[in-house]
């Protein structure tokens, strides 16, 4: 199969099952193939955006006019070395957790309930009430499309904040990471992870396509949670088209079947405007909304 494909439908590649075609699409399986994608982008001077597992993204109904670079097969390394893990960016969170259960490696329970792959988790410093991925990172290896070089960033050179990183260069893509946990009894790790997974099933609408949390918590330091704000402004279960604010967890907008990006965006804007008008709270999207003419041009 050719590395660069044309007119690839994006909806099946996202958790939301929403999105039109990409003009160009690439799914490299090595840094050598990443270099070829970089050459294509430089020659064509077209915008691109990086798509991981598609869990925290809302793509346009019209699709994307540039190149979508999927990292789903880029690096699937998954190996334990004592209390450390070497993990490729393409490894799904649930597979990482299963590996930890079998190896008896604790400290990654904070990832339970987070969709997607490790690359996306590292980019946005994803986390739960138990903590954020930042606390486990020893080093990150990234590939720079602009220079076609790879570098490793050690923990002390990283800068993270709530749901954001501030150390990657504009065209760098995370390839893999080295994480630190702690050795534990495998049965104990399995018990903890399974208990958290069971809790998630009863508190999140995992039976419907969604992106996970739509909004960041407005003030995590004061424990002001987005779901509570949305519930308080009366939007639990509110529906536009075939998109609905979940009745089970109001920081989720679910696809009831055939929802359009426009439906989801309308609910997002409604929640933001009501939160500001009724509670004087500014809701900021956690989900990445990609317009058809979005993305960035290599080297700019």
Predicted pLDDT of residue 127: 93
78-201: CATH, from 3.30.70.60, 3.30.70.260, 3.30.465.10, 3.40.50.970: 3.30.465.10
CA–CA separation, 70 and 78 (whole Å): 19
Predicted pLDDT of residue 66: 98
Predicted pLDDT of residue 44: 95
List CB contacts of 10: < 8 A, sequence separation 6 or more: 19, 20, 21, 22, 25, 51, 59, 63, 64, 68
Q: Residue 146: CA atoms inside 13 Å, Cβ hemisphere, count?
A: 12
| Count of beta carbons in the 10 Å neighbourhood of residue 225 | 18
For the chain of 300 residues, list the mean pLDDT of each consecutive stretch of 10. 91 98 98 97 97 97 98 96 96 97 95 95 94 97 98 97 95 98 96 93 93 91 88 98 98 98 99 97 96 92
Predicted pLDDT of residue 299: 84
Which of 55, 70, 213, 246 is labelled catalytic? 213
CB 292 within 8 A of CB 64: yes
CB 273 within 8 A of CB 230: no
Q: Is 137 strand, coil or helix?
A: strand
Predicted pLDDT of residue 2: 80
Predicted pLDDT of residue 32: 96
Predicted pLDDT of residue 52: 96
CA–CA separation, 138 and 84 (whole Å): 9
CA–CA separation, 108 and 112 (whole Å): 8
Predicted pLDDT of residue 232: 97
Predicted pLDDT of residue 222: 65
Which of 86, 109, 163, 274 is labelled catalytic? 163
- 9: β partners: 21
Q: Is 286 a catalytic residue?
A: yes
Supply the Cα-derived Rg of the chain in whole angstroms. 19
Q: Is 163 a catalytic residue?
A: yes
Q: Is 129 a catalytic residue?
A: no
Q: Is the overall model pTM greater than 0.75, yes or no?
A: yes
CB 169 within 8 A of CB 135: no
CB 218 within 8 A of CB 281: yes
CB 190 within 8 A of CB 215: no
Predicted pLDDT of residue 219: 81
78-201 matches 4-73 in CATH topology: no
Give the residue extent of every domain in the chain: 4-73, 78-201, 215-284
4-73: CATH, from 3.50.50.60, 3.30.1600.10, 2.30.110.10, 3.30.43.10: 3.30.43.10
> Could you name the CATH architecture of 215-284?
Alpha-Beta Complex (3.90)
């Amino acid at each position: 199969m050719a590395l660069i494909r044309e007119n690839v439908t994006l909806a099946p590649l996202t958790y939301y099952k929403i999105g039109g075609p990409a003009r160009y699409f690439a799914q490299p399986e090595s840094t050598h193939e990443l270099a070829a994608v970089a050459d294509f982008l430089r020659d064509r001077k077209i915008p691109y955006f990086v798509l991981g597992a598609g869990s925290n993204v809302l793509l346009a109904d019209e699709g994307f006019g540039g190149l979508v670079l999927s990292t789903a097969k880029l690096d699937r390394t998954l190996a334990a070395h004592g209390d450390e893990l070497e993990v490729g960016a393409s490894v799904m969170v649930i597979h990482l957790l299963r590996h930890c259960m079998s190896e008896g490696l604790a400290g990654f329970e904070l990832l339970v309930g987070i969709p997607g792959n490790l690359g996306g988790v590292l980019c946005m410093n994803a986390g739960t009430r138990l903590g954020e991925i930042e606390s486990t990172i020893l080093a990150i290896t990234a590939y720079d499309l602009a220079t076609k070089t790879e570098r490793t960033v050690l923990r002390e050179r990283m800068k993270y904040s709530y749901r954001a990183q501030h150390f990657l260069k504009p065209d760098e893509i995370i390839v893999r990471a080295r994480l630190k946990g702690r050795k534990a009894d495998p049965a104990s790790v399995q018990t903890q992870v399974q208990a958290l997974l069971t809790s998630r099933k009863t508190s999140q609408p995992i039976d419907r396509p969604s992106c996970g949390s739509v909004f960041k918590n407005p003030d995590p330091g004061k424990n002001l949670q987005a779901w509570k704000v949305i519930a308080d402004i009366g939007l639990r279960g509110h529906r536009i088209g075939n998109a609905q604010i979940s009745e089970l967890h109001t920081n989720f907008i679910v696809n009831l079947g055939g929802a359009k990006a426009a439906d989801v965006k309308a609910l997002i804007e409604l929640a933001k405007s009501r939160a500001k008008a009724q509670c004087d709270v500014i809701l900021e999207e956690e989900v990445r909304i990609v317009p058809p003419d979005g993305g960035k041009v290599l080297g700019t």
